[in-house]
Amino acid sequence: MSSKKKNLTEEETEQSDEEEQPLSFDEMGLDDKVLHSIALFGWNRPTLIQEKTIPLALEGHDILARASTGTGKTGAFSIPIVQKLLETKRYDSSSKLRALVLAPTKELCSQMHSHFRTLTSFCSREVSVVDLSQGSVEDKRAILVSDKPDIMISTPKKVIEYLNAKLLSSIKDDLSYLVIDESDLMFSFGYEKDLMKVLENLPKSGVQSFLMSATLNTDVKELKKLVLHKPVILKLQEPDLPESGKLQQYHIEVQDDEEKFVLVNALLKLGLIVGKTIVFVSSVDRCYQLKLFLEQFAIRTCVLNSELPIASRCYVVEQFNSNQYDIIIASDEKCVIDPGTREKKKSPKGNAQYGVSRGIDFKFVSNIINFDFPTTVDSYLHRVGRTARGNEEAEGNVLSFVSPRESKYFQKVSKKFGEKGNFRPYQFKMDELEAFKYRARDALRAVTSIAIKEARIKEIKREMLASTALKSFFKDHPKDHKILKFDRPLHTVKHKAHLADVPEYIVPKTLQTVVKSKRENKRIEEAASLSYEPKKRRKARPAAAQRRSAKDSDPLKTFRLNSIKRYKDKKRARRRK
């Protein structure tokens, strides 16, 4: 580091395109155990915020960092904390609560816990982590009394519960690191009083603090005065949107709501949208309407419902991230779309601890579909931030459906980014989708308000039956359990088998060649799989040779490619004859 950077005291360092050569993780003086763990994330090089924050944090500076969603803020504070804890453990191996990480939502806490667990994979004996945001005080009592984890992750409200239970009495003496993530949302989520109480119970000095935020609003500036001491302020000059080479943005103008359903069905059934996809809609009811509609065409989706418990929501995200579903339908909550619309000192109502477009860690997302266009520029940015994230190789597509009543919101977004946004119309002829329109109308008629209501009831019933918190209640009240389990059958949408297939005559003329080619490849694969004959067994090779072969080839891929080749060769031979 240069002497200029070493002497930074409450200066704003603007990121510029100057001559400095970017640092790699290897050049940051990190422990081998940390470097091995970083490799598990698949990070080849640090992101901009990680490159600037980690060296300064290792020098002991307080940090206030503003960076966009998906730029690697969690790694920027977690890596130096784990590194410094490892250094401390060399001369002080005692179990103490040394780091407190605060976040505004339980989802974020769960994700950060998973992140820290991965980051400490090779040093889990030296550095331990616990997530206090979920479960009761009694559940975690034994861990906090006997083990005393090094890193604690929680929402401010939960920390207060543990302080009141006298389980965090040592925090005032032992704490060395404090992180407030998504600090711009802390007050708008109603945590102002809780946060102040937490800060009162922390050491007055000797704590290195990090404020991480997507924006530097007045709430963050207030926190800065309370938490940071002569901080380095990193306002990284990153573009609001990824460069056009990484992010392709398209829009389709639709005449009415029905056309949105027709389009999403056609695009998915014709295979024009490939890869993991998040579909954003305007409300939870709308999530279930779209899910029930797509189910009739044999398109599997999952819904991220803010009304369900935290464990269920995290489970849905895990299912999506582990490829059990390729499409997830999510809605934005008002307080997340525009946190400024909520009065600062007013407690949030309903689902304020939940937000899809901020914070949730969706992995390897290829496409964002704005089924309902967002009402603010910030909301658009946070939705788009779910794709083309992090490393240089990441790419993504955004497709927005824009109805006449939503055009004013689209104009705001396109005006904000101008030519840099590179918004392009998606060339699609709606008049070629008449057959899809008839099918969509039939499917939409079946998705009544009663069907939507009862689909939501069905999910809530399933959650109640699976709830660990209600197990003891149902044990004492078996009749209630029986009534809930065998209640009247709910209204369900009847699926018509023919809707799952797309006959050739309804495929638009301009796409018939593409669709036919995809179907032919699929048919060849299936036929090749059926006619595949395994080769005669050869003599066993030495173990060393087998290990080399396993490394050099992917057996499933080899089987698929070879069987297709053999099938095509046979077909050509028959034609020649």
pTM for the structure as a whole: 0.63
Q: Smallest Cα–Cα separation from 226: which of 156, 129, 144, 174?
A: 156
**Predicted pLDDT at 494:** 72
Phi, psi at 350, each rounded to 5° = 60, -105
Task: Count Cα atoms within 13 angstroms, Cβ side, for 492.
Answer: 10
Does residue 466 surpass a pLDDT of 80?
A: no
Residues in the chain: 577
Are 171 and 310 in the same domain? Answer: no
Q: Which of 200, 235, 270 is the last residue of a domain?
A: 235
Mean pLDDT of 7-16: 43
| Contacts within 8 Å (CB) and 24+ apart, 25-34 | 28/54, 28/55, 28/58, 29/58, 30/79, 30/83, 31/83, 31/86, 31/87, 31/123, 32/122, 33/86, 33/122, 33/123, 34/79, 34/82, 34/83, 34/86, 34/119, 34/122, 34/123
| Contacts within 8 Å (CB) and 24+ apart, 16-24 | 16/237, 22/46, 22/51, 23/51, 23/55
Geometric angle at alpha carbon 85, from 82 and 86, rounded to 5°: 85
329 belongs to a structural domain: yes
* SS3 label, residue 383: helix
Q: Could you tell me the residue range of the domain that residue 345 belongs to?
A: 247-507
Q: Smallest Cα–Cα separation from 342: which of 469, 482, 457, 186?
A: 186
Instruction: Flag the least confident range among 352-356, 370-374, 449-453, 500-504.
Output: 352-356
Are 399 and 467 in the same domain? Answer: yes
409 belongs to a structural domain: yes
242 belongs to a structural domain: no
Please report, as a single letter, which amino acid is at residue 398.
Answer: V
Does residue 392 surpass a pLDDT of 80?
A: no
Distance, in Å, from the CA atom of 163 to the CA atom of 35, rounded to the nearest integer, reads 35
Confidence of residue 13 (pLDDT cuts 50, 70, 90): very low
**pLDDT 10s digits, 140-152:** 888 888 888 999 9
241 belongs to a structural domain: no
Confidence of residue 197 (pLDDT cuts 50, 70, 90): very high
Mean pLDDT of 65-80: 85
**pLDDT 10s digits, 120-136:** 999 999 999 999 988 88
Distance, in Å, from the CA atom of 534 to the CA atom of 559, rounded to the nearest integer, reads 10
**Predicted pLDDT at 310:** 65
* SS3 label, residue 189: coil
Mean pLDDT of 458-462: 79
Q: Which of 465, 492, 507 is the last residue of a domain?
A: 507
Are 451 and 516 in the same domain? Answer: no
Average pLDDT, the chain: 79
Does residue 168 surpass a pLDDT of 60?
A: yes
503 belongs to a structural domain: yes
Does residue 474 surpass a pLDDT of 90?
A: no
60 belongs to a structural domain: yes
- What CATH number does the domain containing 52 carry? 3.40.50.300
**Predicted pLDDT at 57:** 95
Are 72 and 131 in the same domain? Answer: yes
- End-to-end Cα, the chain, rounded Å: 74
Does residue 286 surpass a pLDDT of 90?
A: yes
CA 452 to centroid of chain Cα atoms: 26
Q: Smallest Cα–Cα separation from 563: which of 525, 535, 536?
A: 525
Give percent of the chain with pLDDT exceeding 90. 33
**pLDDT 10s digits, 248-285:** 899 999 999 999 999 999 999 988 888 899 999 988 89
Q: Tell me which of 369 and 514 has the higher pLDDT.
A: 369
Q: Find which of 334-338, 473-477, 492-496 is predicted with most confidence, using mean pLDDT.
A: 473-477
Confidence of residue 378 (pLDDT cuts 50, 70, 90): confident
Task: Count Cα atoms within 13 angstroms, Cβ side, for 391.
Answer: 10
Are 440 and 494 in the same domain? Answer: yes
**Predicted pLDDT at 560:** 47
Are 258 and 230 in the same domain? Answer: no
Phi, psi at 70, each rounded to 5° = 80, 15
Does residue 104 surpass a pLDDT of 60?
A: yes
Whether residue 499 contacts residue 298, with contact meaning beta carbons closer than 8 Å, is answered with yes
Mean pLDDT of 329-348: 46
Q: Find which of 36-40, 343-347, 451-455, 511-515 is predicted with most confidence, using mean pLDDT.
A: 36-40
459 belongs to a structural domain: yes
**Predicted pLDDT at 3:** 39
Q: Which of 235, 264, 279 is the last residue of a domain?
A: 235
Distance, in Å, from the CA atom of 349 to the CA atom of 296, rounded to the nearest integer, reads 35
Give me the residue label for tokens 């003086």: 29
Are 129 and 178 in the same domain? Answer: yes
Are 92 and 153 in the same domain? Answer: yes
Helix (H) or strand (E) holding 284: helix 284-295
Give percent of the chain with pLDDT exceeding 70. 76
* SS3 label, residue 361: coil
Are 286 and 379 in the same domain? Answer: yes
**Predicted pLDDT at 161:** 92
Are 143 and 269 in the same domain? Answer: no
Are 148 and 286 in the same domain? Answer: no
451 belongs to a structural domain: yes
* Tally of domains in the chain: 3
Are 337 and 363 in the same domain? Answer: yes
